[in-house]
Amino acid sequence: MERFSSERDRYFMKNALNISLRGIGNTFPNPSVGVVIVKNNQIVSRGWTQPGGKPHAEVVALKKKSFFGATLYTTLEPCSHYGNTPPCVNQIIKSRIKRVVIGLKDPNPLINGNGITKLKSKKIKITLGILKDEIKKTHLGFFNKIKKKKPFVSTKIAISRNGKMINNNNSWITSEDSRSYGNFLRAKHDVIVTGIETVLKDNPTLNCRHYGMQKFSPVRIILDSKLRIKENLKIIKTAKKIKTYIFTNFNNEKKIRRLKKYGISVKFHNNNLKNIINEIANMGFNNVLLEAGPNLNYFFLKDKLIDKIYYFKSKNDIKIEKIFSEKKLSLKNISKLKFKNLYFNNIGNDTLRIFEK
């Protein structure tokens, strides 16, 4: 018989939590779950949710048929229903696991305690709530989507010392280190949302450029109410490689047919940002990264749609007058919006602050 303690449970659950981070940003519509299996006080198998949400972490960890007498640690309650995959609880039972330690109950109405009930009915011991607060932070997007019909929305703001986000000479505002970190953030989000002004002005690809991470480039959504997108832009030319949506309320059938040939999906939607964010949740996305200029950032903040801010501030000035929306994105104004400053550090020649509601 294995002896267990809350200290040991926290240790192994921490391992499961760390493993779950590998899938963040590419498991939608499912959360990124981590699992470790422990026997004789040793980790004998592990798994995390795979891209696209399947196979589930439990299935990956339970690739062997039997783990007689072992303990399974999972960050989220195992599923108990037939969806795109069979129930994970069935695999756990067949593997002869004797105890399951669960970080959090799954809020999905199809599960929400049913997995625990089924495991208990087979005399499998259950421990619930280990590292629940830490785990909840990693699953905030999924929890928001289920409970609030809203994904977790982060934004990335790059701003000069004197508060400018727009540089008319097209040179970078922040350092290469800041831009590298900002590019890494894309891999940890399911989808990037941007505005047509950013696309037309900067002609971005909005992909992951780091070596080996290109395959983790997120889905791209362009908010383009008047369908001003041009067909020669990078984001259009790469749409067959990276799933891309345009949200518009302008029905130009001829142009839409051409865009579809590039691989673009067009969704008709009004300009109400709250409705757009709800639609993004309905599409299955958990974690959204807003990459846009000052105007769209201002309107997202005004509508209380932002949950987290990555605030990169340069030590350089840009000597042109600030526009209204840039003034509203100052550190002083953000503090008035009741964001908590979670992190502060130097990065390259800049500073990075991370704020969260």
Instruction: Enumerate the active-site residues.
Output: 58
The neighbour count for residue 162, using CB atoms within 10 Å, is 13
- Give the list of residues 6+ apart from residue 188 with CB closer than 8 angstroms, or none: 24, 25, 287
**352, two tokens:** 């990075």
Q: Do residues 308 and 355 make contact, with C-beta atoms less than 8 angstroms apart?
A: yes
Cα(21)–Cα(9) distance, integer angstroms? 19
Say whether the peptide bond before residue 55 is cis (omega within 30 degrees of 0). yes
Cα(72)–Cα(130) distance, integer angstroms? 13
Burial class (CB in 10 A: 0-12, 13-18, 19+), 290: buried
**135, two tokens:** 């785990």
Q: Which residue carries 């305690």 as its tokens? A: 113
Name which of 161, 176, 156, 155 is nearest 313 in CA terms: 161
Q: Do residues 164 and 47 make contact, with C-beta atoms less than 8 angstroms apart?
A: no
Cα(307)–Cα(277) distance, integer angstroms? 12
What is the 8-class DSSP label of residue 317?
Answer: -
Q: Distances from the Cα of 68 to the Cαs of 15, 56, 64, 227, in angstroms?
A: 21, 21, 11, 59
Q: Which residue carries 């000479």 as its tokens? A: 169
